[in-house]
């Protein structure tokens, strides 16, 4: 394990919060992700399903959790199923978790080998009325890949067609939108590692290097600080690439006079940071680059002021759109007379700022949360305004991660350099 052990109290508390949302006479079942194949005998690195990790802390493949809070048998209220080690696995992959290790991580007393799942799930289903099943109900998901949850639903809904089936996803979207103090600490650790990576590349960047060399510097710093690596595929976009929102090739040379839009974040203990900074290749912003940079930074700070308990995304996005419009008029990207006559359903600022400003952050980079819900204490949101001008090969985006509290916001990335003067100072200090 690369990170400091997490107290099982986190997962015990998460399970109790989930159970508190279940109807009486219900069971709930959760499956890990699959190990995905590449080709021949290759596989991709295993990534645990964030829901079962949230409830158990177990990062091993072929793990299943069964919750049955109303059973008369105390030991069967929570059952964790894990993959059993055999001699072949021990030699080729290393031993899997023992039952004692799984108990220590999850706080679940009843740990069984996966082979016991069919009989124990059947016994539970025969004595309950409702079965909570999990599915991916994220708003922008679109994948043809069948998951272990998908296969489980298909199999057991045929065996028990007359049960009342419930959705686990809405409960997760409600619970996971609010971070506990312990979760916030993990997010702070991820942000701190991200800061170290950013300070490293400020010393490293110069004309003539390749985008992937910057990526490599981040990777080095992340791994040496206990992260498993990038929270998401890194974006290192120089010159005209800075106007491509999800540019991930990272294979072009960084030329003198260009800027680089860098969107990266470290993962730590399953939790993710999400940072964007825009820096000049030469170490100095041009006059025009600085104008656009300062405009985006003003919107970022303006967005901070809007993240208040009781506000909502509609009000927030409307106000940011108005700020962006004024900045773009000042940059001579828009004309005020055109803005007055614009279609309110298609505001003109979206030509240069076409994505959303904020999303939930946590175990997923785009974490769970209902976007019709008002802002509440414990929510962690990104703030990432940007202005992209393809005709000038100039794209500027800035992004920090923000915790909302009843006393105001806490910027989890407050220590990561963002002011243009500090960026230039740090980039040029190495040259003296």
Active-site positions read: 41, 246, 263, 274, 355, 359, 366, 384, 388, 397, 399
Length of the chain: 432
DSSP-derived secondary structure for 219-277:
HHHHHHTT--SBSS--EEEEGGGGG-TT-----SB--TT-EEEEEE-BEETTEE--EEE
Angle of CA points 315, 321, 327, to nearest 5°: 140
Q: Round to whole Å and give the CA distance between 124 and 27.
A: 7
In our burial notation (b when 16+ CB lie closer than 10 A, e otherwise), range 14-30 reads: bbebbbebbeeebbbbb
User: Pairing relation of β-strands 267-268 and 130-133?
Assistant: unpaired
Question: Do residues 279 and 202 make contact, with C-beta atoms less than 8 angstroms apart?
Answer: yes
Distance of CA 333 to the CA centre of its chain: 32
Q: Round to whole Å and give the CA distance between 417 and 160.
A: 57
Task: Of 21, 223, 1, 28, give the one whose Cα is nearest residue 104.
Answer: 1
For 236, the token pair is 């290192």
Q: Round to whole Å and give the CA distance between 333 and 46.
A: 45
For CA atoms 157, 158, 159, 162, give the dihedral sign. Answer: positive
Q: Round to whole Å and give the CA distance between 295 and 396.
A: 9
Residue ranges in 307-389 assigned as alpha helix (H): 313-330, 336-340
Q: Round to whole Å and give the CA distance between 427 and 245.
A: 25
**Placement of tokens 């960084």 in the chain:** 254
Q: What is the DSSP letter of 230?
A: B
User: Pairing relation of β-strands 110-113 and 130-133?
Assistant: unpaired
Question: Do residues 33 and 86 make contact, with C-beta atoms less than 8 angstroms apart?
Answer: no
User: Pairing relation of β-strands 26-31 and 130-133?
Assistant: parallel
Question: Do residues 427 and 202 make contact, with C-beta atoms less than 8 angstroms apart?
Answer: yes
User: Pairing relation of β-strands 271-272 and 275-280?
Assistant: unpaired
- Half-sphere exposure (Cβ direction) of 12: Cα atoms closer than 13 Å: 10
Question: Do residues 388 and 243 make contact, with C-beta atoms less than 8 angstroms apart?
Answer: yes
């Amino acid at each position: 394990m690369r990170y400091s052990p997490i107290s099982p109290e986190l997962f015990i508390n998460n399970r109790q919060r989930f159970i508190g949302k279940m109807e009486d006479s219900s069971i709930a079942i959760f499956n890990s992700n699959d190990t995905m194949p590449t080709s021949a005998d290759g596989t991709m690195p295993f990534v645990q399903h964030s829901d079962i990790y949230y409830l158990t802390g177990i990062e091993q493949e072929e793990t299943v959790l069964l919750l049955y809070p109303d059973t008369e048998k105390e030991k069967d209220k929570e059952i964790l199923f894990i993959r059993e080690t055999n001699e072949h696995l021990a030699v080729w992959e290393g031993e899997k978790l023992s039952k004692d290790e799984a108990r220590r991580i999850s706080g679940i007393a009843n740990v069984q080998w996966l082979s016991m799942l069919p009989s124990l799930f059947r016994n539970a289903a025969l004595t309950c009325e409702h079965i909570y099943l999990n599915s991916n109900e994220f708003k922008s998901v679109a994948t043809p890949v069948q998951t272990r949850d998908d296969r489980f639903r298909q199999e057991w809904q045929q065996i028990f067609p007359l049960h009342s089936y419930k959705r686990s996803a809405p409960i997760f979207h409600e619970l996971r939108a609010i971070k506990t103090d312990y979760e916030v600490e993990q997010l702070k650790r991820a942000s701190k590692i991200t800061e170290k990576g950013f300070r490293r590349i400020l010393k490293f960047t110069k004309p003539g290097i390749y985008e992937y060399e910057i990526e490599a510097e981040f990777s080095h710093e992340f791994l040496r600080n206990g992260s498993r690596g990038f929270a998401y595929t890194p974006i290192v976009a120089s010159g005209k690439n800075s106007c491509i929102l999800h540019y991930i090739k990272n294979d072009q040379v960084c030329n003198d006079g260009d800027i680089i839009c860098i969107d990266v974040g470290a993962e730590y203990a399953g939790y993710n940071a999400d940072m964007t900074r825009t820096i000049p290749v030469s170490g100095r912003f041009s006059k025009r680059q600085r104008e656009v940079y300062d405009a985006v930074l003003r919107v970022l700070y303006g967005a901070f002021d809007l993240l208040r308990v009781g506000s909502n995304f509609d009000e927030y996005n409307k106000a940011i759109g108005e700020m962006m419009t004024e900045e773009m008029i000042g940059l001579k990207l828009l004309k005020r007379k055109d803005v007055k006559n614009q279609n309110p359903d298609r505001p003109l600022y979206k030509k240069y700022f076409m994505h959303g400003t904020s999303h939930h952050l946590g175990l997923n980079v785009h974490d769970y949360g209902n976007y019709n819900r008002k802002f509440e204490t414990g929510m962690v949101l990104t703030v990432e305004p940007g202005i992209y001008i393809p005709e000038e090969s100039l794209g500027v985006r800035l992004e920090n991660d923000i915790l909302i509290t009843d006393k105001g916001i806490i910027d989890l990335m407050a220590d990561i350099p963002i002011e243009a003067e500090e960026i230039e100072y740090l980039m040029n200090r190495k040259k003296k």
